[in-house]
Chains A and B, each alone.
Chain A
Amino acid sequence: MIFALVALSLLLSFFSPWYSIVALSAAVYSFRKKSHREILLTSLLIVFSHLIAAFALDHQADGLISQRIAGLFQLPLKSLSYLMVALIPALLFLVTAYVVIEGRKLARKRERKKL
Chain B
Amino acid sequence: MLIHILSVGIGPLPALGALMSFSQGIFANAREKTFDVDQVQLPDLKSSVEIIFDKNKVPHIIAQNKWDLYLAQGFLMAKYRLWQMDMTTRAGGAELSEVLGTRTEKIDQFFFQVGLRQASKESFELMKADEGSYQAIKAYTLGVNSFIEKLTYKEWPVEYKVVRFKPRPFSEDRVAQLLKIMAFNLAARSYDLPLSLVSQKLGWKASLDLFPDHYGPGLPFPGFDDFIHQSEGSISNTKTESYKGFSTSFKSFPDFLLPFQTDGSNSWMISKEKSKDGHNIMSNDTHLGLRSPSVWFESRLYVPGVLDVYGASFPGAPGVILGMSQNLSWGSTNGTLDVVDWFEIEFKSEDSFDYLLDGNFVSARELKGSLLVNKSPEQKVSVLQTVFGPVVHREGLKGLAVKWTGNEPSNELQVFLGLDEARSVAEAKDILKNYTSPIQNFSLADKNEIAIVTAGLFPLKEYGFGRVVEDGRKTHPSWSKMVSLNESLTTSHPLSGFLHSANQRQVGSDFFTYIGWDFEQPFRGLRIRETLKSKDLVSIEDVFSMQNEGFNELAHYFFKIVDRNQVYHSLNPQMQKEFAPLLEWDLIDSPTSSSTTLFYAWIKEIEESFWAKPFSFQKKKFYPKKSRTLEELQNRKESQPEKFFQALGEDFHSAIKNLRSSRPDPKSWVWGQVQPTVFKHVTSFPGFESATVSPQGSKYSLNSNKGSHGGAWRFVAQMSEPPKAWSQIPGGMNGNPVLKDYSENVEEWAKGQFKEVQFLPPDKVRQSALFILKLAPQ
Contact = CB atoms under 8 A, between A and B. Distances in A.
B21 interface: yes
A40 interface: no
B26 interface: yes
Interface stretch (B259-267, B598-606, B735-743): B735-743
B256 interface: no
Given A19-B6, A64-B740, A69-B26, A88 B688 contact: no
Contacts of A67: 687
Q: Which of B16, B27, B153, B737 has the most CB of A within 10 A?
A: B27
Contact of A92 (B6, B22, B158, B742): B6
Contact of A18 (B21, B30, B162, B686): B21
B3 A15 contact: no
A65 interface: yes
Interface in B644-699: 685-689
Interface string A59-72: 01110110111111
B688 A65 contact: no
Given A57-B30, A88-B6, A68 B687 contact: yes
Nearest to B17: A19
Q: Which of A23, A74, A85, A95 has the most CB of B within 10 A?
A: A85
Contacts of B24: 16, 18
B575 interface: no
Contacts of B6: 19, 88, 92
A57 B3 CA distance: 24
Interface string B144-163: 00000000011000100010
B109 interface: no
B20 interface: yes
B22 A13 contact: yes
Contacts of A92: 2-3, 6, 17
A9 to B, nearest CB: 11
Interface string A83-113: 0110010001001100000000000000000
Contact of A16 (B23, B158, B687): B23
Interface in A30-82: 53-54, 57-58, 60-62, 64-65, 67-72, 74
Q: Which of B20, B688, B689, B739 has the most CB of A within 10 A?
A: B20
Nearest to B24: A16
Contact of A65 (B7, B153, B738): B738
Nearest to B158: A68
Given A14-B22, A19-B3, A71-B687, A57 B738 contact: no
A72 B23 contact: no
Contact of A62 (B27, B154, B689, B740): B740
B630 interface: no
A89 B2 CA distance: 11
A74 B349 CA distance: 49
A65 B26 contact: yes
Nearest to A53: B22
Chain A contact surface mostly: helix
A71 B689 CA distance: 9
A87 to B, nearest CB: 10
A16 B152 CA distance: 12
Contacts of B739: 61, 64
Nearest to B27: A57
B186 interface: no
B18 interface: yes
B744 to A, nearest CB: 12
Interface in B737-762: 737-740, 742
Interface string B583-621: 000000000000000000000000000000000000000
Contacts of A54: 22, 27
Contact of B3 (A14, A23, A71, A72): A23
A61 B14 CA distance: 22
B687 A88 contact: no
A18 B739 CA distance: 24
A25 B117 CA distance: 51
Contacts of B23: 13-16, 18
Nearest to B14: A72
Contact of A57 (B22, B158, B688): B22
Contacts of B30: 57-58, 60-61, 64-65
Nearest to A50: B22
Contacts of A84: 16, 20
A8 B27 CA distance: 19
A71 B692 CA distance: 14
Nearest to B162: A72
Interface in B12-47: 14, 16-18, 20-24, 26-27, 30-31
B737 A74 contact: no
A102 to B, nearest CB: 15
Contacts of A58: 30
Contacts of B737: 64, 68
Q: Which 9 A-B pairs have the closest CB atoms?
A: A71-B687, A61-B30, A19-B17, A14-B23, A71-B686, A64-B738, A13-B22, A16-B24, A85-B20
Given A54-B22, A54-B27, A57-B30, 15 more contacts: A16-B21, A16-B24, A17-B17, A17-B18, A18-B21, A19-B17, A57-B22, A61-B27, A62-B740, A67-B687, A68-B738, A72-B685, A74-B686, A84-B16, A88-B6
15 contacts: A13-B22, A19-B3, A19-B17, A23-B2, A54-B27, A64-B742, A65-B26, A68-B738, A69-B20, A71-B689, A72-B14, A74-B686, A88-B20, A92-B3, A96-B2
Interface of A: 13-20, 23, 53-54, 57-58, 60-62, 64-65, 67-72, 74, 84-85, 88, 92, 95-96
